[in-house]
Amino acid sequence: MDKFTALTGVAAPLPLVNVDTDMIIPKQFLKTIKRTGLGRNLFDEMRYTPDGAEIPDFVLNRPAYRNAEILVAGENFGCGSSREHAPWALLDFGIRCVIAPSYADIFYQNCFKNGILPIVLPQEAVDVLMDDARRGANARITVDLPSQTVTASDGTTFAFEIDPFKKHCLLNGLDDIGLTMEKAPAIDGFEARAAAARPWL
């Protein structure tokens, strides 16, 4: 998993509440267990017509936001099913940070496990960042995880809270496997002692 320290990038405004995981990545794209290739189907039913043509007005199809790395969204983002494909699709598109007033809990946890920083801010702060994001590619938002701040293009800064353990994992690029591998010497030692004590196993 890639480390997350600081990010300055284009933020795409998605002023919708209750964006569920089926909107993020529709069910027909859940056949794969690979974490790559899902970005092209992110928000598929909002991005494309039934015959596969791009819908020009959808935010991620607009030239200013095709390379967005931050998504500013409405409350209860990521509700619905627990599919981990939702953060996979966001990450594969290039989204490394989502800013919203609230999230569905499972989606929120899955973001951290996949290297995405989900930031919770009060609605008033999200409104400011949403307005900033609407200015397009010239308005770049900075997210600084070590200092736990989000800075709008005009210099307005908002502080956010994050669980210290989750912060540690993102800063060091540690998913569940990475956390386990940190304990590899202790695990190897246990296995060696167990083999010596019970060689018949």
In a domain, 1, yes or no: no
Taking the chain (201 residues) in consecutive chunks of 10 residues, what is each chunk's mean pLDDT?
95 97 93 85 96 96 96 97 93 98 97 97 98 91 98 97 96 76 70 78 72
Distance, CA of 201 to CA of 196 (rounded, Å): 10
Give residue 82's pLDDT: 84
How wide is the angle at C-alpha 83 spanned by C-alphas 18 and 46, nearest 5°?
50
In a domain, 200, yes or no: no
Q: Nearest to residue 2, comparing CAs of 169, 122, 164?
A: 169
Q: Could you tell me the pTM of the whole model?
A: 0.89
In a domain, 187, yes or no: no
In a domain, 85, yes or no: yes
In a domain, 182, yes or no: no
In a domain, 165, yes or no: yes
Number of structural domains in the chain: 1
Q: Which two tokens stand for residue 8?
A: 């300055």
Distance, CA of 11 to CA of 60 (rounded, Å): 10
- Span 77-89, pLDDT tens digits: 999 988 899 999 9
Between strands 117-120 and 140-144, the pairing is: unpaired
Q: Which CATH number belongs to the domain containing residue 113 in this structure? A: 3.20.19.10
Q: Nearest to residue 133, comparing CAs of 82, 98, 169?
A: 98
- Span 71-116, pLDDT tens digits: 999 999 999 988 899 999 999 999 999 999 999 999 999 999 999 9
Integer distance in angstroms from the first to the last C-alpha of the chain? 35
In a domain, 135, yes or no: yes
Range of the domain at 33: 6-172
In a domain, 15, yes or no: yes
